[in-house]
Amino acid sequence: MSDEPEILGGNQSADLNSRADQIIAVMDEIDDAKVRLADIKANAKASGYDLKALSQVVKEKRKGAGFQAQQLELEMVLDSYRKAVGNATDLEKAQERARREASEDPDEKKAKRKKSSKVVQFPGGKPN
């Protein structure tokens, strides 16, 4: 085998060039679409929309009703788990809890973190 590159015949060369041009055109379209998308998001943000929430709604809308049902089911399970462990399940309760925690003494916060970060030892020293 030679180290020289293989020279493509007339039809192959034209075909390769055409495919390369098509790829470039699509890549340029993608770049333009990304710019348009960024503009739409910037306008939405300037209008006061929460981009994280908007992105989630768009994701759910694109994926359809089945995905939306799964998301709502997940939210229901999360709420039941939150209740079970004593976490807030509505915004007012979460904000009140955050205010209380923010007003606590820093030493109390450290003590809570140490208390809640106990290491559980498994038999044999490793989890199965």
pLDDT digits (tens, 9 = 90+) for 15-66: 999 999 999 999 999 999 999 999 999 999 999 999 999 999 999 999 999 9
Where would I find the H helices in 47-105?
51-63, 65-85, 91-103
Confidence of residue 106 (pLDDT cuts 50, 70, 90): confident
> In this structure, how many other beta carbons lie within 10 angstroms of the beta carbon of residue 27?
10
Confidence (pLDDT) at 2 = 62
The mean per-residue pLDDT over the stretch 89-102 comes to 93
Q: What is the pTM of this model?
A: 0.60
DSSP character at residue 86: T
Could you state, in order of their start, the residue ranges of all structural domains in the chain?
14-49, 63-112
Between CA 26 and CA 19 the distance in angstroms is 11
* Residue in 102, 76, 53 with CA at minimum distance from that of residue 94: 102
- Taken in order 121, 124, 126, 128, is the CA torsion positive or negative? negative
